Structure 1
Amino acid sequence: MFQGGFPKYLKDDVAIPVGLIPHKTSENVNVGVSQENIQYIQDNSVIQFPYRIYYTDISDEDIDNLSARQKMILHCIYSRSCDGFIRQKHLYSLLQTDYEDWAIPYIVKICDEYIVEILEMTYDILKEQDTERKKRFCLENISLFYKSYNRMSSYWNEYYRYRYRTFQHYIGSKLFRECLGYSKSMGHRK
């Protein structure tokens, strides 16, 4: 269920953190992962991972025992958690590493979500980084990226319009434009 979210050559590295994920689920949910999947193209390969996972968080002690690459994999997986605090914790940890390109789909996906604190944290970190790899990934997945932009826009309209009077000042808008390379012309290229 998680192997498809990473390149095949990482099979052994993926198996180790996946084996540490507790089988206990949060919020009285009976399944560990959602049926809905996210699917992107990266380097001419399909990358697919669950929209949400419902497993409880892994202990910091278990994380400390993983290699740097295995930690990145784990942080990617938990960036899909149903718990926003867990998503933010793992995304923050991922963004603090010298993450590899295969982590980019997870970073981009979380940028279209509704928790403004996660968007603010992501923007604050990414605006200080070279984002060319992320921009290339977004162009490679332009149709999905455009849908993500529209999703982020609808969250602004529904939840944050009172706080950010103009869409251009909304943190999600700034994140998409400045860090992920969104431009109005993309709508015509999808």
Structure 2
Amino acid sequence: MHLPRDPSNVDHVLAAAFPPRLAGDVQSVLAVMPDARLAPMESFEVDVQGETVAIPSRIYNEEPGADFECSLTGTQQVILHCLYSRHSDGRVRQRRLEQIVASGEPWVAPFVLQLAGEYVLEILDVIGRGLVGLAVPNSAQRRLYGDFIARNPAFFARTERRVVSYWSCYHRWKYTVFGTYPGCTLMEAFRAAASEHAGVRWPRHTPPPLVGMAGGLA
């Protein structure tokens, strides 16, 4: 569902994707973004360290010129990359994700995790390469994503189900065993981070990794 095309409403929608303390930086970012050809699609809400943010499912703004981007501070550039990681063009999403995937900012985590539940294999590969710390017990990345998932169990469960759905619909012919699918590998790593954070085994909403084409064990 697209939201109304009132420019002031669009700015409000995009600003709501970040904690209020970043409001000034977000406004600087919005000032360099071209007007959208369509309004953002409906947002999803998550908890970031006790603050609720609402991130648009898709945005349709053209990318700003390089000179405008270079005028932004480091934090503002991360905000810009986060917003364009929600772009309707998968190539734009991938390119922007590459700039933020290894960020240690808690407010970046939902943008990365949302992309882990999408269907573009190249994007899943970017996340896997950028979050190698998820495989390291008590690493900064494990703590970051473990905390985020623990605060947003329904969001993570929905992401897991999307991974299974996209595997089954688009990629099962290539990855006949679910455990070989990059999305499965990512979900296992995120689940391990949540388990470590919570101190208990985190619930699974995907098939066991060895489920194959016929739905049984490979």
Tell me which interval the TM-score lies in, with the shorter structure as reference length.
0.7 to 0.9
- How much has 1:55 moved relative to structure 2? 1.0
Contact preservation (8 Å) 2:97, 2:126: no
Partner residue, 1:60 = 66
Higher RCO (C-alpha under 8 Å, 6+ residues apart): 1
Q: TM-score, normalised by structure 1?
A: 0.88
CA RMSD of aligned residues (A): 1.9
- CA–CA separation in structure 2 for the residues paired with 1:133 and 1:185: 16
Percent identity, please.
28
Partner residue, 1:173 = 184
Moved over 2 A (4+): 128-132, 179-185
For structure 2, the 5+ residue unaligned runs are 1-12, 135-140, 196-200, 206-218
- CA–CA separation in structure 2 for the residues paired with 1:158 and 1:76: 27
Question: Equivalent of 2:76, from 59, 70, 83?
Answer: 70
- How much has 1:128 moved relative to structure 2? 4.4
- How much has 1:69 moved relative to structure 2? 0.3
- How much has 1:180 moved relative to structure 2? 5.2
Matches within 5 A, 1:36-47: 36-47=42-53
- How much has 1:60 moved relative to structure 2? 2.3
Q: TM-score, normalised by structure 2?
A: 0.77
Partner residue, 1:132 = 143
Q: CA offsets per residue over residues 4-29 of structure 1, 9 Å max, x none?
A: 1111111100000111111153xxxx
Residues 1:180 and 1:124: Cα distance change in structure 2 (over 3 Å): farther
- CA–CA separation in structure 2 for the residues paired with 1:24 and 1:138: 31
Question: Equivalent of 2:165, from 154, 158, 161?
Answer: 154
Partner residue, 1:51 = 57
Contact preservation (8 Å) 1:127, 1:179: no
For structure 1, the 5+ residue unaligned runs are 26-30
- CA–CA separation in structure 2 for the residues paired with 1:53 and 1:99: 24
Q: CA offsets per residue over residues 66-97 of structure 1, 9 Å max, x none?
A: 1000001001111100000110111101125x
- How much has 1:187 moved relative to structure 2? 4.5
